[in-house]
Amino acid sequence: MGEAFDRVGFVGLGRMGTPMVRRLAAGGVAVRGHDAAPGVAEGLADVLTPMPSAAAAAEGAPVVVLMLPDSGIVEKVVDGGLLDALAPGTLLVDMSTSEPLRTRALAERVAERGATLVDAPVSGGVAGAEAGTLTIMVGGPDDAAERLTPLLALMGRVRHVGGTGAGHALKALNNLLSASHLLATSEAILAGERFGLDATAMLDAINGSSGRSGSTETKWPTHIVPGTYGSGFTAGLMVKDLRIALGLAEAVDAPRGHAERTLALWSRAVGTLGPEADHTEIARWLRERPEEDQ
């Protein structure tokens, strides 16, 4: 079931937002889009109507989607005029990777306007956004999640995982696992190479064994072995997500020793590689850095 929305406002037209908008447009949805970077929305006039502000994109739209870097920017956009532009009954969908506790607080303010905030972060990267195969982790009221499902399904596989903030919590925890897998995989493959094993042969065997993961099945063979490092997701964003996951673990007093060590290593890598480096470059950092710096 759900509702077939025919128009949306969309704020944030970066590496993820742009292919997501293209999927919506291909599904027959009229998109009113805005991005803070000059000229970005105008460059997508074939798939959306460019709007001069987030508030303008939201006016008259039953659904407004945010695809922004973090909670701070989400709150800046909402407080910068978007909140006042939301009509009662509007569904504000934060598809950014935001902080779950801040999401809950923001949802309360949105509710005061008679609108509903739904968090719906995604996993799958730029390739998943282009193919419409993202995993979309939805947090929010049951009725809002159900209404949004047909629209979100144009961009990927929709999973309603709980109440407000649940999507953002799960996305951060997912990326904690992803970051951990990539570190462990890279250390294992590099150790095998130094022993004399071939990386491709190792990956082929591991992918039929218990050690397989997204890192062995996709990241290493697609981005690391050929040296292209082109996943489209930065190391800086990975560190941001790790901090969210660790903050969540601290807030609920969950075990976090492994998370702390993972964040420490990724932070060192970003200190060398720079935040804009592709996150798969951590394998290169491990290969090139002396052990005492790791």
> Which residues are known catalytic residues?
171
Please state, in angstroms and rounded to a whole number, the distance separating the CA atoms of residues 85 and 10.
13
> pLDDT tens digits, residue range 25-76?
999 999 999 999 999 999 999 999 999 999 999 999 999 999 999 999 999 9
Instruction: For residue 270, give the H/E element and its range.
Output: helix 257-273
Burial of 212 (0-12, 13-18, 19+ CB in 10 A): middle
**CA 203 and chain centroid, separation:** 26
Q: What does the pLDDT read at residue 293?
A: 56
Inter-residue long-range contacts of 269-277, CB under 8 Å, 24+ positions, other chains counted? 269/235, 270/235, 270/236, 270/239, 273/235, 274/235, 274/236, 275/234, 275/235, 275/236, 275/237, 275/239, 276/234, 276/235, 276/236, 277/229, 277/234, 277/235, 277/236
Q: Are 282 and 186 in contact, with CB atoms under 8 Å apart?
A: yes
CA atoms of 187 and 181, how far apart (whole Å): 10
- Helices 100-112 + 166-195 axis angle, to 10: 160
Tokens of 253: 């007093």
DSSP reduced 3-state for 19? helix
Q: DSSP assignment, residue 253?
A: T
User: What's the pLDDT at 111?
Assistant: 98
Low-confidence ranges of the chain (pLDDT < 50): none
140 with 130: CB under 8 angstroms? no
Q: Which amino acid is at 226?
A: P
Is 231 in contact with 178 (CB distance < 8 Å)? no
Task: Extract the tokens encoding 16.
Answer: 């993820």
Both tokens assigned to 176? 């904690």
Torsion of CA 26, 30, 35, 40, to 10 degrees: 60
What span, in angstroms and rounded, lies between the C-alpha atoms of 10 and 7?
10
Q: Tokens at residue 48, please?
A: 């959306």
Cα–Cα distance measured from residue 252 to residue 250, given in angstroms and rounded to the nearest whole number: 6
